[in-house]
Amino acid sequence: MKKHNFYAGPSILSQYTIKNTADAIIDFAGTGLSILEVSHRSKEFVAVIEEARQLVKELLDVPQGYSVLFLGGGASLQFCMAPFNLLRTKAAYLETGTWAVNAIKEAKIFGEVDVVASSKDANFTFIPKNYSVPADADYFHFTTNNTIYGTEIRKDPDVAVPLVADMSSDIFSRPVDVAKYDLIYAGAQKNLAPAGVTIAIVREDALGKVDRLIPTMLDYRTHIKKDSMFNTPPVLPIFSALQTLRYYKQLGGVEALEKMDLAKAEVLYEAIDSSKMFVGTVTDPEDRSIMNVTFVMKPEYKELEKDFIDFAATKGIVGIKGHRSVGGFRASLYNALPMESVKVLTGAMKEFEEKH
């Protein structure tokens, strides 16, 4: 049966990415070797990482003066690397979910952290507004998309200091004004590639301003100087990332992807809002994520949640169980998810509702 993959991460990848990766596992670029067994310094792989870097720059319109890095350690390592490299005395953070909480915890190791606003008391069901970011902060850190809670900030905030953003779960779903940022980072396993590589887009002249010593591997300058080849980079995830980036370009870039993502999210939110049985956990339309749609059953149907997951499975729908801190359901509508899968899900919701 055809599967409809709504997992939050690792998550659906395009067939283009999966097929080309499978082919390269057998024979990489006509070398007669598998991508799993070639040197990262072979000319064939150097061409892969260079094209991938170039495509990230092209798709996100990255200005001069920025480096695109391919790092290990996941987005979670960036929670520490960002303040290690950028926090001189004080940084401002917006607390919108578990990932932001983790980022704040690491930043506190390096200096003063001003949490400018939080939606923690409301279990992160909305994006705080009307906060002010102190002008003497070294940067303002926020999570663009809160994967667990289904909220998203789809505009680059206007504040007086440089931005730093965790874009792990919505990178390449909209155009970004990179010039406003000192750093953008994203683990690959939500919208790009298998787990193992993290993209960092770093403003070069933001570096070298902290007094502390930075361990070599945690210093962005190390990886800039060596074109992400200081040590062995995650070869296979970078190869897959390149396939996805090529595919994104073929589809028309981030503007085209955004249009498709908005259309998919609209279909699902409309099904939730018009349902007697289901209800969204995020109510302000402005805050609703177009990547991760979180919803639950109304109190009178609550005991049917497990049944719905089983029913959906009979239609090939996988990965819709909500995160334990929200409960209910989460449908992740990443770039690679086709509209067809969304329609299968909304169809299953209607059918289940009629049955009960």
Query: Which positions are catalytic?
Result: 99, 166, 190
* 322 belongs to the binding site for ligand PLP (CB under 6 A): no
Please give the size of the binding site for ligand PLP, defined by CB under 6 A.
Answer: 12
Tell me whether residue 122 is exposed, middle or buried, using C-beta atoms within 10 angstroms of its C-beta: 0 to 12, 13 to 18, 19 or more.
exposed
Instruction: Based on the shown chain and the rule CB under 6 A, indicate whether residue 166 belongs to the binding site for ligand PLP.
Output: yes
| Token duo for residue 65 | 């003066």
Contact 292, 147 (CB under 8 A): yes
- Smallest distance, ligand PLP to C-beta of residue 187, A: 3
Question: Tokens 């100087």 sit at which residue?
Answer: 225
Q: Which stretch binds ligand PLP (CB under 6 A): 32-40, 163-171, 223-231, 248-256?
A: 163-171
H/E stretch holding 305 reads helix 305-313
CB-wise, 152 or 258, nearer to ligand PLP? 152
Residue 187 in the binding site for ligand PLP (CB under 6 A): yes
Q: Per CB under 6 A, does 168 bind ligand PLP?
A: yes
200: left (phi over 0), alpha (psi -120 to 50) or beta: beta
What gap in Å lies between CA 27 and CA 275, rounded to an integer? 50
One-letter amino acid for residue 356 of the chain: H
- Among 67, 147, 275, 341, indicate the residue that binds ligand PLP (CB under 6 A): 147
Choice between 21 and 168, CB closer to ligand PLP: 168
Long-range contacts of 340-346 (CB under 8 A, 24+ apart): 340/4, 341/4, 341/5, 341/6, 341/317, 342/264, 342/267, 342/268, 343/267, 344/4, 344/315, 344/316, 344/317, 345/4, 345/6, 345/268, 345/271, 345/312, 345/317, 345/320, 346/267, 346/268, 346/271
Choice between 127 and 349, CB closer to ligand PLP: 127
Question: Toward ligand PLP, which CB reaches closer, 4 or 190?
Answer: 190
Structure tokens at 200: 């960092």
Report the residue from 40, 44, 57, 74 that binds ligand PLP according to the rule CB under 6 A.
Answer: 74
Q: Is 75 in the site for ligand PLP (CB under 6 A)?
A: yes
Q: In 10 A of CB 156, how many CB atoms?
A: 18
Binding status of residue 9 toward ligand PLP by CB under 6 A: yes
User: Is the distance from CB of 97 to CB of 91 less than 8 angstroms?
Assistant: no
Smallest distance, ligand PLP to C-beta of residue 88, A: 24
- Within 91-110, the residues that bind ligand PLP by CB under 6 A are 99
Residue 118 interacting with ligand PLP (CB under 6 A): no
- Identity of residue 335: N
Tokens of 55: 């495509």
Choose one: 107-115, 125-133, 161-169, 302-310; the region binding ligand PLP (CB under 6 A): 161-169
Residue whose CB is less far from ligand PLP, 28 or 170? 170
Comparison of 179 and 195: residue with beta carbon closer to ligand PLP: 195
- Using the minimum distance from each CB to ligand PLP, give the nearer residue, 190 or 288: 190
Site string for ligand PLP, 270-309 (x = CB under 6 A): ----------------------------------------
Region from 37-45, 69-77, 257-265, 342-350 binding ligand PLP, contact rule CB under 6 A: 69-77
Rounded Cα distance between 19 and 301, Å, is 41
Closest residue to ligand PLP in the complex (CB): 74
Other CB atoms within a 10 A radius of the CB of residue 33 amount to 16
Which residue from 21, 169, 191, 294 is in contact with ligand PLP, where contact means CB under 6 A? Answer: 169
Residue 337 interacts with ligand PLP (CB under 6 A): yes or no: no
**What b/e string do you get for 243-276 counting C-beta neighbours within 10 Å, with b at 16 or more?**
bbbbbbeebebbeebbebbeebbeebbebbeebe
What's the count of helices (H) and strands (E) in the chain, helices before strands? 9, 14
Q: Which of 190, 223, 288, 330 binds ligand PLP (CB under 6 A)?
A: 190
- Which residues are at the interface with ligand PLP (CB under 6 A)? 9, 74-76, 99, 143, 147, 166, 168-169, 187, 190
